[in-house]
Structure formats: C-alpha cells, structure tokens
Structure 1
Amino acid sequence: MRHAVFSSDLDPNGPTPLYLQVGHHISGLIGKDSRFMERLPSEAELCQMYGVSRITVRQALSYLAERDVVVRQHGRGTFVGALHRPGRQQTIHSFFEILAGKGLSPEMTLLDYRMRQPPEEVAKALSVTGDTLFIRRGYRSEEGPLGVTEVFYPGPLAELVTPELAARTTSASILQDVLKLRISHADISIGLSRASQDVAEWLKVDTGAPLMRIKRVTTCTGHGVCEYSRLLVTEGSADFRINADGEMLAEGMT
C-alpha cells in the first residue's frame, strides 16, 4: 500500500467518528487540491490516502452525498456537487443583504476586531506575511442566531477599516461604498467546516459541530486580493445555489 498521505490529519482516538473526520477533510480539499476538483479519487485511492478501511470511506462519502457536497454515480465514481464547485462572480453581496432580501430583519453584531496572524491559506490568498485585520460578525433574527462571517483584510486596507465602521457596515459595503473600490471578480466555494469555540457560542451549537462554509476571495482592480471572507451557518439553515453567471444566491432560510 502506498503511503497514507492524510493519515496524520486524523485522530483515531478522538471524539469525532473517523468517517466524519475523513468527510470533513475531503470537503476541505474540494476546489483546492487538484485531485479534488470535478471528480474525486476512487474509493480504493481514498483508502490509501487516509489509511482507513473501505467501510470508513464509504460512510464518509455517504455523509457528504447526503449534504450535496458530492454526487455518487454508480459505475462512474464520485463527483463534486454542483453547488460546491468553485464559482466566480463580478459583484458581491453581503450576508445581511441576502437575509434582508428573504424578508428577515437581521441584526448584525461585531464579535471580534483585531490584528492577527492569518491562517496559512488566508496569508497565501492575500499575499501577505504579517498580520491582517480580522473581523468577526454575528447575525441573528427574532428566531435566534443565523450565521457568522469572518473577514480578513491585508495591511493597506486594515488602517482604513475602523472598529466603528466594522460594527455598522457590512464588508461588501465597506469595499464598494465606503472605500470606493472596484470589484474585478470574487471567487467563491462552498464546503464544510467545524465550529470553533467562539463561533459555536454565537450559533448555540457544540464546539466542533459541522457548519456550512461559504468562502469568498475578492479581487479589486488595482489592489489585487483585497478581502478574504467566510460565512459560517449551521447545516439546514440556508440553501445556496450558483447561477449561470457565477453569482451565489440564497434559495431558502429556515
């Protein structure tokens, strides 16, 4: 058997079932790893990659298929679901706008505002080596929490986004209405993530609970990548689709 390249990312003795760990890891690779773009590796290849049994791989794929992350086609293999393929749009809309457009009256709360070292993936996307401005906002309605957004800004823009501005203005509006930046394009992808302790407290779920993650990397004309953001919502709270122009839309809120 070939070396299990992802075995170190799993914790066989941890509280999360092994098949869920494999499923979450696969979701995180979709759209990023060249082996997980349109079509996933075969079950046998996944067994080798993760060093797990075929039963575990099948449970992981079934978990992802139930959530439309992947589509399993008998005799053909496993493919990335249509909603979870990377998409590109030329306009951006805030989560607040999406909620308001669905007839809700959302409230936005600034949960975190600070300079911090970004995760490796964020630093690479923003082409930075130092700290970035990190903003976390929580959204709720009368029924309860709806979601959390996390946004990273590179240094040159961080100085322009004050705590007061972050508390009252959405990220999409900051870029387009306040800073008057022109959006060249935004790449979006949809996958699964786990709730950190801070996010879990706002959403009233267990730490480590599975969340839907909508990631957006926004490029501004003359500035390069100017924003890295991710929307985190509980599974089943919203349905999203990408239209023919690559625009992300919310189909329903529960």
Structure 2
Amino acid sequence: MASPIYIQIHNVIKRSIETGKWSVGDRIPSERQLAVDFGVSRMTLRQAVQTLVEEGILERHVGSGTYVARQKVQEKMSGVTSFTELTKAQGKVPSSKTLSYHVATPSLSEMEKLNLNENNYVLRMERIRYADKTPICFEIATIPEDLIKGFSKEEITSSLYRALEESGNAIGHAQQTVTAVSASEKIADYLEIKRGDAILRLRQITSLKGGRPFEYVRTQYAGERFEFYLEK
C-alpha cells in the first residue's frame, strides 16, 4: 500500500535534512522551486512542507520563507492528555468531525515516533474536535494498525483511549511538546478563527503501560479557547 505523494516528498526532505543537505537555520528552496524539482503541484508540495512544519522539523518565517527549525526550549508536562476526558471534566460535551481516515504505510517521522518499519501499516486520521459544538482543535493522529484491529471506526474516533483500556491495554505515559504558532488559512477555516490568530501546537507520543508507543498526534488548538495547565 503506497504512501500518498506528499508523504513521499516529506520523507525525501526529511532525509535531506538528516544527511546534512540543509542544516539548522538554513532556508530551504521556495515551494514553487520544490514543486518543479519534485514534478508535483504546488498544493501537493505545500501539504508535504506543512506536515514537516507541524512536526517541528521546518518553520515558516512570514515574508522570508521556510527554514530548518531550531530546537525549542521545552517544558516537561505531566499526565496523559485525553481530549474526551479533559472536555468532560470541564462539564462540556466532546465531539469530533472526521475529515480523513485511512490505512497507509508510515512516513519516516511516524516510523521513528512509533518504533515501526516500512513493513508496518498505520491508521492516519484527521479530525476537528469540539467542546459544546465549538471547534477547539485540529488533530492528525497516527496509530499502528495492528493495535486497533477489531475496533470499529466509531470506537476509535470517539475515544481511542477508552477503547484500548476496555480491551486490556492500559495507557502509560506521554511525551508532549508545545509551541506557539500562527493559524494558517486552512486551520483558521477549520477552527472558525482568523488567519494569523494564535495557535498552540501540541505534538504528543503516547505509550501503553508496557512502553510501546501507540499514538503520534499533531494537534493545533485555538489559542483563545484552550490553555495547558502544568503541575509540578
């Protein structure tokens, strides 16, 4: 099962960074030039670049271009974030709108984060998540396919954590990275905010009690509707 073209381009760019073709702080070629180099539309190329931006590998500088990202200062957070349980705890009703849901081969980033190889498959889904019908975040979640065999789409999209725990898989710890970014036109449309509004971007790898990572999530929260609470 072949990966989408944008994932294949994502992999090539990521390898180029890892092998030193572009170093931290370097400006990569323009989307127009890269689209010509890869022989694809600018829309496809932009999707590949945006995926790398969401993973924190690239960063956009308005009016300047796209650069290999510098390492950010990190704040260690405790606890495992479940949007469904978090929303319920606030007395709100959680819901979601699934935009994309398909099984595919993992990207290089997904293989690294989930300890997979090119022979494995993953479920990759994109969705908008709501609290009391107000859009809170846009999420891209990747899950190893073998862990969710037998689960219905409804079980996975409504509360993956609950489905896993009910099947005997206890949730362990999570690694979380939060950065501040500006909303792109697409994200602004999804979250019903203005382009350029503040966004909190969370990247999370969640593991089972035994240590196996089961979820790699890239989430963009509307800054004015969500805050992270840290307890030390």
Q: TM-score, normalised by structure 1?
A: 0.57
Q: 1:85 maps to what in 2?
A: 75
1:147 partnered with 2:166 = no
RMSD over aligned Cα, in angstroms? 3.6
Output the amino acid matched with 2:218. Answer: R
Q: 1:146 to 1:165 in 2, by over 3 A?
A: same
Could you say which residue in structure 2 is the equivalent of 1:187?
175
The count of aligned residue pairs is 182
Amino acid at match of 1:17: G
Instruction: Give unpaired runs (5+ residues) of structure 1.
Output: 31-79, 245-254
Q: Is the alpha carbon distance of 1:9 and 1:119 closer, same or farther for their aligned partners in structure 2, counting shifts above 3 Å?
A: farther
Q: Is the partner of 1:122 in helix, strand or coil?
A: helix
Question: In terms of Rg, which structure is larger?
Answer: 1
Counting aligned pairs with the same residue, the percent is 18
| 1:224 lines up with 2:212 in the alignment | yes
1:1-254 aligned at under 5 Å gives the runs: 5-9=24-28, 16-18=62-64, 25-26=69-70, 29-30=71-72, 80=73, 84-89=74-79, 92-130=80-118, 131-141=121-131, 144-167=134-157, 169-176=158-165, 178-192=166-180, 199-205=187-193, 211-222=199-210, 224-244=212-232
Distance 1:118 1:193 in 2: 26
Quick check: 1:197–1:207 contact (8 Å CA) kept in 2? yes
Superposition TM-score, scaled by structure 2 size:
0.62
Q: Structure 1, residues 75-112: CA drift from partner, whole Å, max 9, x if none?
A: xxxxx3xxx424353xx342122222223233222222
Query: Is contact 1:215–1:229 with CA below 8 Å preserved after alignment?
Result: yes
Could you tell me how far apart the structure 2 residues matched to 1:17 and 1:199 are?
19
In structure 1, how many angstroms separate the alpha carbons of the residues matched to 2:215 and 2:84?
Answer: 17
Alpha-carbon offset, residue 133 of structure 1: 0.6
Q: 1:164 to 1:238 in 2, by over 3 A?
A: closer
Aligned partners of 1:95 and 1:147: how far apart in 2? 10
* Residue identity in the other structure for 1:87: M
Could you list the runs of 5+ residues in structure 2 that have no partner in the other structure? Answer: 1-21, 33-59
Shift of 1:117: 3.6
Output the CA distance in 2 between the equivalents of 1:193 and 1:158. 32
